[in-house]
C-alpha cells in the first residue's frame, strides 16, 4: 500500500492545485493543503483511505464543507492515475471523503505478491557514491543485550536482547547493514573488587579455567561488593587492583580475561537458545579512547573542575535536591565512568572508517531507567559536535518486567529469576499443554515431535509476549497468558500457520500462479486488504522502532484469516475460487512467516 498511497497523495495534490489555485491561497489554507491529508480509513467500512481536510478548509474559506469535499472528489475523478486505482470517492458525514481501492488494483497487487519473496516490501536504495566515501547512510548500529560480566544476565537484559534482535532483523530486512553490538560491562571497579576478593578466597580461579561456576561468580561478586561497601582497606586494595588492570598488569589481565570468558560462555548459552547473533564489543574496547574524549571536551571548553572531578553541567539535569547535577566525565582519582565510555563509543561509532564504524544511526536498547543517562550523554556529544547533521542517535527505552502481582519478577522464594530457568519453565509448560491437547485429541506423536513443538512454542511465547507489548510500558510476565492458544499470543499466530500447512497437506496446492484470480466474498476482500498493509507496517517499525506494531498486525491478520478459513470454503470451492483462495492462503502463510522471522520467532508446520 506504500506505493498506492504515494500515488494517491500525488493525485490529491494535483486536485488541490486545480480546486484551490495557488494565487487564491491564504497562508492558512496553504498550510492545510500541504499537510498530510490522506490518512488510512478509521474503520474498514469507510474504505481504505480518508481525506478530512474539507472541514478545516471550509472554516477558512467560509464555504460548506460538503461542497468543498465534492469539488475535491470531482477533480479526483478527472485524474487519470486516480481512476486507475480507486473507486469513485464517497462523501460522508459533514464532509469526509472516503476512498476505496478498486478490485482491479487489489487483484494486481495480490498477483505481484504471489511471486515476490519480499511480499511487496521495498528494499532501501542507498547511494553507492556516498557509501564509497565512507558516509554509510546504510549502516546502523544497534547496541543491545549488553549484560555485565560477573553478574548474571537478568530479565531486563532479556528484554533488551529480544527487542534489539527484532529491530535488527527489521532493519536488516529493509536493507540496512546492521552492526549488532553487545556493549558488555567488562571494565571498571567491579573487577577490582572481584579480583581482590577471589585472590583471598579462591586464588586458583584467577589463573585456571572453570574453577568457579557463573553462579558462584555472581555470589563472589555480591560478597566482594559487601566488603567493598564496609571495609576501607578492602576498598583501597580494590582500587589499586583496578589501576593495575587498567595499566595492563599481567596477572590482573589474565584474571580479568578468565572472568570475562566464563561469563561469555554463560551468556552465549542464552543467545544460542534464543537464536540471537551479537558481536561482543565491551566497555574495555573504548579504554584506549577515553583520554581522547577528555582532551576533546577540554579543548572545547566543556569541562568544569568540580572538587577535582572533570564535570559537565547540562541544562535541566538536576539531582533529587533540585540542584544542578554534574555528569562526571573523569573522577577526582583519574578514573572514568560509564558515561565516559559511552561518549567514546558515540565518537567511535560515528567516525568515518578506518577511525570508526561510520554508522549513520545509533540505537540503544536499554531499560527506561537509563533514559537520563542517555539524554545526558547525547547532549554532550551534540555540544562537542560529534554528531554529523545527517546522523541519528536514539535511546529505545523499555519498561520493567513484573510478576503477575505487578511487583518485580521474582522466584517463589523471593530470589531473582535466572534466565535459563525462565526459558526451561516456558518450554516445560508448553510441553504439558501439548500433551494435554494430544490426549484430548487422541493423537499420538513421537518424542522428537513433542520436543520440537514444545521448545519452539516455549521460546516463541516468551519472545512474543515481550514484543507484543508497547515496549515503553511495564510488562506483566505470565506463563499462562503467553502460552494460551487464544488472544494476542505466539501460539495463536503459530496456529494460523499450522492451519494453512494443513490445507496444503490435504491437497491444496499453495504454489499457485493462477492467472485467473477472482474474489467475491467480503472475507476475501478483508484478508486482501490486510495482506497489502505489510509494507506500511514495516516502514512504521523501521521509523518508530516499535515491534509491537508488527505483532499487532500479525495478530489482526491471523484473526482475519481465521474468519476467512471458518466461513469460506477453500478446498471444496470450485474454480476459479479454489485457486484464488489458495493464493490468499499462500500469501497469508508467507506474510506470517516473514513477520515472525522479523520478530526472531521460529514457526511450525504442525503443532
Contact set with ligand ARG (CB under 6 A): 143, 146-148, 183, 185, 342, 345, 364, 366
Residue 185 or 458 having the CB closest to ligand ARG: 185
Residue 57 or 345 having the CB closest to ligand ARG: 345
Task: Determine the Cα angle at 219 with ends 397 and 143, to 5°.
Answer: 25
Taking the C-alpha atoms of residue 120 and residue 108, their distance in angstroms, rounded to an integer, is 12
Nearest distance from C-beta of residue 388 to ligand ARG, angstroms: 19
Of 277, 245, 269, the C-alpha closest to 258 is 245
Nearest distance from C-beta of residue 303 to ligand ARG, angstroms: 21
Nearest distance from C-beta of residue 185 to ligand ARG, angstroms: 4
Residue 160 or 577 having the CB closest to ligand ARG: 160
Residue 285 or 492 having the CB closest to ligand ARG: 285
Tell me what percent of the chain is helix, strand and coil, each rounded to the nearest 5: 55, 10, 30
Nearest distance from C-beta of residue 342 to ligand ARG, angstroms: 5
Q: Indicate the DSSP class of residue 24.
A: G
Residue 8 or 396 having the CB closest to ligand ARG: 396
Q: Which three cell numbers mark 429? A: 509448560
Residue 342 or 466 having the CB closest to ligand ARG: 342
Nearest distance from C-beta of residue 139 to ligand ARG, angstroms: 17
On whether the CB atoms of residues 575 and 492 are closer than 8 A, the answer is no
Nearest distance from C-beta of residue 572 to ligand ARG, angstroms: 55
Nearest distance from C-beta of residue 345 to ligand ARG, angstroms: 6
Mapped onto helix, strand or coil, the DSSP state of residue 392 is: strand
On whether the CB atoms of residues 115 and 587 are closer than 8 A, the answer is no
Residue 181 or 423 having the CB closest to ligand ARG: 181
Taking the C-alpha atoms of residue 122 and residue 547, their distance in angstroms, rounded to an integer, is 18
On whether the CB atoms of residues 450 and 434 are closer than 8 A, the answer is yes
The continuous run of DSSP H or E covering 143 comes out as strand 139-143
Sole residue written with cell 546522523: 391
Backbone φ/ψ region at 119: left (φ over 0), alpha (ψ -120 to 50), beta: left
Residue 288 or 506 having the CB closest to ligand ARG: 288
Nearest distance from C-beta of residue 346 to ligand ARG, angstroms: 9
**Residues in the chain, total:** 607
On whether the CB atoms of residues 526 and 563 are closer than 8 A, the answer is yes
Residue 198's Cβ-count burial label (10 Å; 0-12, 13-18, 19+) is buried
Residue 243's Cβ-count burial label (10 Å; 0-12, 13-18, 19+) is middle
On whether the CB atoms of residues 82 and 11 are closer than 8 A, the answer is yes
Q: Which three cell numbers mark 426? A: 516456558
Residue 38 or 393 having the CB closest to ligand ARG: 393
On whether the CB atoms of residues 435 and 441 are closer than 8 A, the answer is no
Residue 47 or 147 having the CB closest to ligand ARG: 147
Residue 366 or 468 having the CB closest to ligand ARG: 366
Residue 327 or 503 having the CB closest to ligand ARG: 327
Nearest distance from C-beta of residue 347 to ligand ARG, angstroms: 13
Taking the C-alpha atoms of residue 551 and residue 82, their distance in angstroms, rounded to an integer, is 32
Nearest distance from C-beta of residue 141 to ligand ARG, angstroms: 10
Nearest distance from C-beta of residue 552 to ligand ARG, angstroms: 27
Nearest distance from C-beta of residue 392 to ligand ARG, angstroms: 16
Nearest distance from C-beta of residue 359 to ligand ARG, angstroms: 13
Residue 364 or 464 having the CB closest to ligand ARG: 364
Residue 89 or 147 having the CB closest to ligand ARG: 147
Who contacts 567 (Cβ-Cβ below 8 Å, separation ≥6)? 521, 523
Residue 89 or 185 having the CB closest to ligand ARG: 185
Cis amide linkage into residue 406, ω under 30° from 0: no
On whether the CB atoms of residues 86 and 99 are closer than 8 A, the answer is yes
Nearest residue to ligand ARG, by Cβ distance, number only? 146
Taking the C-alpha atoms of residue 123 and residue 496, their distance in angstroms, rounded to an integer, is 27
On whether the CB atoms of residues 584 and 517 are closer than 8 A, the answer is no
Of 126, 162, 131, 120, the C-alpha closest to 144 is 162
Nearest distance from C-beta of residue 470 to ligand ARG, angstroms: 21
Question: β-strand 392-398 against 361-367: which pairing, if any?
Answer: parallel
Taking the C-alpha atoms of residue 447 and residue 452, their distance in angstroms, rounded to an integer, is 9
Mapped onto helix, strand or coil, the DSSP state of residue 138 is: coil
Taking the C-alpha atoms of residue 405 and residue 478, their distance in angstroms, rounded to an integer, is 10
Nearest distance from C-beta of residue 275 to ligand ARG, angstroms: 21
Residue by residue, DSSP assigns 401-432 as: EE-TTSSB-B-TTSPBPPHHHHHHHHHHHHHH
Amino acid at each position: 500500500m506504500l506505493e498506492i498511497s504515494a500515488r494517491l497523495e500525488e493525485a490529491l495534490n494535483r486536485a488541490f492545485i486545480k480546486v484551490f489555485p495557488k494565487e487564491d491561497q491564504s497562508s492558512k489554507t496553504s498550510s492545510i493543503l500541504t499537510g498530510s491529508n490522506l490518512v488510512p480509513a478509521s474503520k474498514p467500512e469507510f474504505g481504505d483511505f480518508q481525506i478530512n481536510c474539507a472541514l478545516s478548509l471550509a472554516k477558512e474559506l467560509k464555504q460548506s464543507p460538503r461542497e468543498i469535499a465534492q469539488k475535491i472528489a470531482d477533480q479526483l475523478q478527472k485524474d487519470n492515475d486516480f481512476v486507475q486505482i480507486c473507486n469513485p470517492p464517497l462523501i460522508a458525514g459533514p464532509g469526509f471523503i472516503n476512498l476505496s481501492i478498486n478490485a482491479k488494483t487489489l487483484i494486481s497487487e495480490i498477483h505481484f505478491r504471489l511471486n515476490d519473496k519480499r511480499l511487496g516490501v521495498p528494499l532501501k536504495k542507498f547511494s553507492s557514491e556516498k557509501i564509497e566515501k565512507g558516509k554509510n547512510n546504510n549502516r546502523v548500529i544497534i547496541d543491545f543485550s549488553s549484560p555485565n560480566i560477573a553478574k548474571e544476565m537478568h530479565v531486563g537484559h532479556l528484554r533488551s536482547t529480544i527487542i534489539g534482535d527484532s529491530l535488527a532483523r527489521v532493519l536488516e530486512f529493509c536493507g540496512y547493514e546492521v552492526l549488532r553490538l553487545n556493549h558488555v560491562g567488562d571494565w571498571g571497579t567491579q573487577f577490582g573488587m572481584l579480583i581482590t576478593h577471589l585472590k583471598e578466597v579462591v586464588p586458583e580461579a584467577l589463573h585456571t579455567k572453570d574453577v568457579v561456576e557463573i553462579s558462584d561468580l555472581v555470589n563472589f561478586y555480591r560478597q566482594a561488593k559487601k566488603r567493598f561497601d564496609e571495609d576501607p582497606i578492602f576498598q583501597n586494595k580494590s582500587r589499586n587492583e583496578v589501576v593495575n588492570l587498567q595499566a595492563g598488569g599481567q596477572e590482573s589481565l589474565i584474571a580479568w580475561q578468565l572472568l570475562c570468558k566464563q561469563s561469555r560462555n554463560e551468556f552465549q548459552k542464552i543467545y544460542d537458545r534464543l537464536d540471537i547473533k551479537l558481536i561482543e564489543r565491551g566497555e574495555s574496547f573504548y579504554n584506549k579512547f577515553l583520554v581522547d574524549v577528555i582532551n576533546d571536551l577540554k579543548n572545547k571548553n566543556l569541562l568544569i573542575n568540580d572538587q577535582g572531578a572533570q564535570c559537565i553541567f547540562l541544562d535541566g539535569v538536576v539531582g533529587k535536591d533540585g540542584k544542578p547535577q554534574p555528569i562526571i566525565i573523569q573522577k577526582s582519582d583519574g578514573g572514568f565512568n560509564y558515561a565516559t565510555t559511552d561518549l567514546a563509543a558515540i565518537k567511535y561509532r560515528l567516525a568515518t572508517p578506518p577511525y570508526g564504524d561510520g554508522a549513520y544511526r545509533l540505537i540503544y536498547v536499554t531499560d527506561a531507567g537509563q533514559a537520563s543517562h542517555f539524554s545526558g550523554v547525547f547532549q554532550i556529544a551534540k555540544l562537542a559536535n560529534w554528531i554529523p547533521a545527517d546522523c541519528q542517535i536514539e535511546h529505545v527505552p523499555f519498561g520493567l518486567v513484573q510478576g503477575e502481582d505487578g511487583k518485580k519478577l521474582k522466584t517463589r522464594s523471593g530470589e531473582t529469576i535466572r534466565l535459563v530457568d525462565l526459558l526451561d519453565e516456558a518450554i516445560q509448560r508448553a510441553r504439558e499443554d501439548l500433551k494435554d491437547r494430544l490426549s484430548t485429541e487422541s493423537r499420538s506423536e513421537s518424542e522428537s515431535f513433542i520436543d520440537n513443538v514444545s521448545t519452539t512454542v516455549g521460546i516463541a511465547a516468551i519472545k512474543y509476549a515481550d514484543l507484543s507489548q508497547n515496549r515503553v510500558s511495564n510488562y506483566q510476565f505470565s506463563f499462562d497468558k503467553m502460552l494460551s492458544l487464544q488472544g494476542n499470543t505466539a501460539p495463536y499466530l503459530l496456529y494460523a500457520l499450522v492451519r494453512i500447512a494443513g490445507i496444503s497437506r490435504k491437497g491444496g496446492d499453495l504454489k499457485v500462479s493462477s492467472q485467473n484470480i477472482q474474489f467475491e466474498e467480503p472475507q476475501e476482500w478483508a484478508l486482501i486488504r490486510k495482506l497489502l498493509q505489510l509494507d506500511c507496517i514495516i516502514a512504521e517499525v523501521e521509523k518508530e522502532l516499535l515491534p509491537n506494531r508488527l505483532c499487532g498486525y500479525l495478530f489482526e491478520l491471523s484473526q482475519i484469516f481465521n474468519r476467512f478459513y471458518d466461513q469460506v470454503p477453500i478446498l471444496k470451492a470450485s474454480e476459479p475460487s479454489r485457486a484464488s483462495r489458495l493464493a490468499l492462503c499462500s500469501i497469508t502463510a508467507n506474510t506470517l512467516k516473514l513477520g515472525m522471522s522479523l520478530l526472531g520467532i521460529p514457526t511450525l508446520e504442525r503443532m
